[in-house]
Copies of this chain bind each other. A is one copy, B any other.
């Protein structure tokens, strides 16, 4: 298996169609539940199996919950820094403390006059830049529970991938996703925060376009295309955290969601 991150030029696979489908019937996930086992059970109950080349996109919240990457806000004490920042943006200082604990820096903080609660854009310890350092209370199990990113989303993705591969006896790929906003576009899309075997980027620099001219900077963000597409079926208000992609022709490799991060020297919006 090659280390494909951004290394070698390759063209986008030639396939004419693909399918996406939900894994139905998954339970509410709690700490120490076996995610892989429940995915296997749910598929089997529907008469489904996984096939060579299937890619699963999994909402990080079920990974975080089963791994215990959750915080009870009642057990958090806010630092002076958190209290001051919380006053600026009118957030619960304990939630701000959790955001700070998850972050390496605050990129922007703002509360506009018409807003009740402001916004913190932070760089997560894992390098992702997003609102509230991905600390989230929606789909939590109780009021005051905050869900954080898994400690090592690539590892989580690989653990799930290997368990499913062993059961279904085929090579698979897994993308762990979260839902991010965008600086200049409204609405959110799912993006990749953890990868197993799935290429981060389809590097095309040096390839030729359809008319024979060299493509200089085209590098489709394959893992983010998958994550974004999963939102078409995943929804948010229901319990379909696992989406299966079938029919794509892709090459497994040693990948990491860190390969998607733009280097700091290329960041024009610090």
State in angstroms the CA–CA spacing of A18 and B230 once bound together. 11
Q: Is there an interface contact between A267 and B187, defined as CB atoms closer than 8 Å?
A: no
Chain B residues contacting A202 (CB-CB under 8 Å) are 187
State the copy count for this chain. Answer: 2
> Are B21 and A20 in touch, CB under 8 angstroms?
no
Q: Which residue of B lies closest to A223 (CB)?
A: B187
Beta-carbon contact of A237 and B210 below 8 Å: yes
Which stretch (A73-81, A136-144, A160-168) binds chain B? A136-144
Instruction: Name which residue of chain B comes closest to A116, CB basis.
Output: B216
List chain B residues, Cβ under 8 A from A1: none
Tell whether A96 is near chain B: CB-to-CB under 8 Å. Answer: no
Q: Given known contacts A218-B138, A218-B179, A221-B189, is B210 in contact with A239 (CB within 8 Å)? A: yes
Contact with B along A177-197 (1 / 0, CB 8 A): 001001111111111000000
- CB-CB < 8 A to A39: which residues of B? none
A interface with B by C-beta (< 8 Å): 6, 11-12, 14-22, 24, 28, 108, 110, 112, 119, 121, 128-129, 137-141, 143, 179, 182-191, 200-202, 204, 207-211, 213, 215-216, 218-222, 224-226, 228-229, 231-239, 245, 248, 259-262, 265-269
Distance in angstroms from A170 CB to nearest chain B CB is: 20
What B residues does A226 contact at CB under 8 A? 232
Question: In the complex, are the beta carbons of B232 and A248 less than 8 A apart?
Answer: yes
Supplied contacts A140-B211, A188-B219, 5 more A-B pairs, CB within 8 Å: A6-B186, A139-B209, A179-B220, A187-B220, A189-B228
Across the two chains, which residue of chain B brings its CB closest to A214?
B138
* Max count, chain B CB within 10 A of own CB: residue among A204, A260, A268: A268
Is the Cβ of A267 less than 8 Å from the Cβ of B236?
A: no
> A18 contacts which chain B residues (CB < 8 A)?
19-21, 232-233
Q: Can you report 17 A-B residue pairs in the complex whose CB atoms are below 8 A from each other?
A: A6-B186, A17-B19, A17-B20, A17-B22, A28-B211, A108-B268, A140-B213, A183-B262, A183-B268, A183-B269, A185-B260, A186-B219, A186-B221, A186-B262, A188-B221, A209-B237, A225-B228
Inter-chain contact B238/A228, CB cutoff 8 Å: no
User: Which chain B residue has the least Cβ–Cβ distance from A232?
Assistant: B225
Known: A17-B20, A110-B268, A188-B218. A238 touches B260 (CB 8 A): no
